[in-house]
Structure 1
Amino acid sequence: MNENIKDHDRIEKAFEITKIKQVGNISMKTNHYHDDYEIYYLLDGKRHYFIKDKVYDIKKGDLVFVEKNEIHKTFDAGAPYHQRILITFKKSYLNNILVEAKNYDLLSCFHGNANVLRLKTDEQKSIESLLSKMLYEDTHQVDSSSIFLKMMLTEFLILVERLLKNAPSYHIETTNLTHKRISEIITYINKNYGENLTLEFLSKRFFISTYYLSRTFKKVTGLNLNQYVNTIRIKAAEKLLFSTELNITNISEKVGYRSITHFGRAFKSITGVSPLKYKKILS
């Protein structure tokens, strides 16, 4: 079974909002990335949230913003249950509004350095009220629901942008030493994916046993080390296929593969198509 991680099999929806309560030690089996922007609001409980190369300790009243195609995963933080609201949407969903707001960055919450906004009690009430209206409208659809949901999402993003401007600087990144060490290793991988990044090399560089690194890396990211390295390399290859005229062999070498066959196999495993087909789709 393919354990990787780009959601190329998901049903394409321009906008989706869901509310879920889960009981027990629930963790996403793998981390993943997708073409949607994602907003995660924790109504109750505690979670760990891994985004790109950091782990955040999330609690009730926290808003999490995940840029499209950013690797992320939530996992258990020891709470008996948690309840969250999740919004995902494609940039195209707001195209007309983004054109109107050309001098205003409506998506600024995804572009800054803060992935998490810790809300005050009164701010939580405002956000939860708006989210409740969106959930109700989504589950009680009438002719005007589509445009009303779009208007409410726009209002939500403007409200969040204003809250972020005035937000104090909270230390939300994890204080767990194991998670911090894995974050350091992930940062290194993200910057040096073109190198020969083996388990043995990284364990020596960061003075960790191969067993400990392998076990804790999987726990935090949901992937083994080799799967994660492949994912970062393929993400980089996707960008190069989109933005350059480099041929597939050159791209394969540039992102760290010594074998074009291995590159092709990894690319298809993660994206669902071969590099050549991906390039044809883009053209």
Structure 2
Amino acid sequence: MIDQASMIMTNGKCIAAERILGVNDNMIKSHYHDYFELYYLESGQRYHMVQDRSCCMNTGEFIIFPPYKMHHSYGDNDVAFKRLVVYFKTEAIMIHEITEKLKVSARVYRLADRSEIYSLLKEILKEQEKNDIYSDEAMQMLLNHLLIKIVRLEGAEVEVDKQNRITQIIHYLHKNYTENITLDMLASQFYLSTYYLCREFKHYTNSTIIQYINHIRISQAQLYLMETDKSITQISSEVGFSNVTHFDRVFKTITGISPSAMKKQIAGKRKRF
């Protein structure tokens, strides 16, 4: 499945929307963005893995993924679904308190009356399709109207909390990613054979354990680059790499650029704002 909205964001937009109808379109592995994602399920049923937790979503429910939170979605075989997503960067949010509230953790929203939320999402998509000289500003106004409504919701937020043996292991990895975690140690701690652990982890995440740990480390490193003035050497050590050379190599493999290049990009954005 081609993610057109992601391509729009890559081209420099602060907000992008997309509607897709699919069957058996499952993400191959967990990923993360440097922007928020609001995922509204228009029809069908989907499962979401968010960091170390999972949940089931039904028609009319939506979830907001904060930046740098690993996630992926999947569904049962031959079950059709339709979803509408809106991606938005932090700088598109006009109210600082809303940014702080939304970035803490992913949340599923289940509403008795979802008509206003759904209407605003569709309006954002319409403005993108209109694409005239007012569309960018109109999309930002609609987005902020939408976010104000969302943060005002009472009792609609549901924590992502479904647990099983593999999610327990994933939870452990997120808590201990800075440590030297070996396959044998992990299998022993959770009373599993290494074969079973590798097979089930791969089935659940479509990733090896080492790949998954590296993604956790690099997502945290990106947060440090965004939110602190720590040096690359210090960040490398704090996210669990034994040397900077290895950190540089893994960072570039996952993000496409070196940590020093990303640091320069972030510094340039700070000067503009």
TM-score band w.r.t. shorter chain: 0.7 to 0.9
Instruction: Tell me what 2:270 maps to.
Output: none
TM-score normalised to structure 1 length = 0.81
Amino acid at match of 2:110: R
Change (3 A) 1:11 1:217: farther
Separation (CA, whole Å) in 2 of partners of 1:170 and 1:245: 35
Instruction: Tell me what 1:237 maps to.
Output: 221
| SS in structure 1 at match of 2:241 | coil
Instruction: Tell me what 1:272 maps to.
Output: 256
Instruction: Tell me what 1:126 maps to.
Output: 116
| SS in structure 2 at match of 1:58 | strand
Which aligned pairs between 1:127-142 and structure 2 lie closer than 5 A?
A: 127-142=117-132
Amino acid at match of 2:246: H
1:30 matched to 2:20? The reply is no
Identity %: 34
In the alignment, which of 122, 138, 151 is matched to residue 148 of structure 1?
Answer: 138
Paired residues, number: 259
Separation (CA, whole Å) in 2 of partners of 1:10 and 1:73: 19
CA RMSD of aligned residues (A): 2.6
TM-score normalised to structure 2 length = 0.83
CA deviations on 1:229-274 (whole Å, 9 max, x unpaired) are: 11112233334455244452x5434332334433221111112223
Query: Do the aligned residues in 2 keep the contact of 1:240 with 1:246 (CA within 8 Å)?
Result: no
Separation (CA, whole Å) in 1 of partners of 2:222 and 2:232: 12
Unaligned runs of 5+ in 1: 1-6
Change (3 A) 1:144 1:281: closer
Higher relative contact order (CA 8 A, sep 6+): 1
Which aligned pairs between 1:66-215 and structure 2 lie closer than 5 A?
A: 66-78=65-77, 80-94=79-93, 97-98=94-95, 105-107=97-99, 110-111=102-103, 115-120=107-112, 123-163=113-153, 165-167=154-156, 173-174=161-162, 180-215=164-199
Query: Do the aligned residues in 1 keep the contact of 2:31 with 2:70 (CA within 8 Å)?
Result: yes
Separation (CA, whole Å) in 2 of partners of 1:212 and 1:74: 23
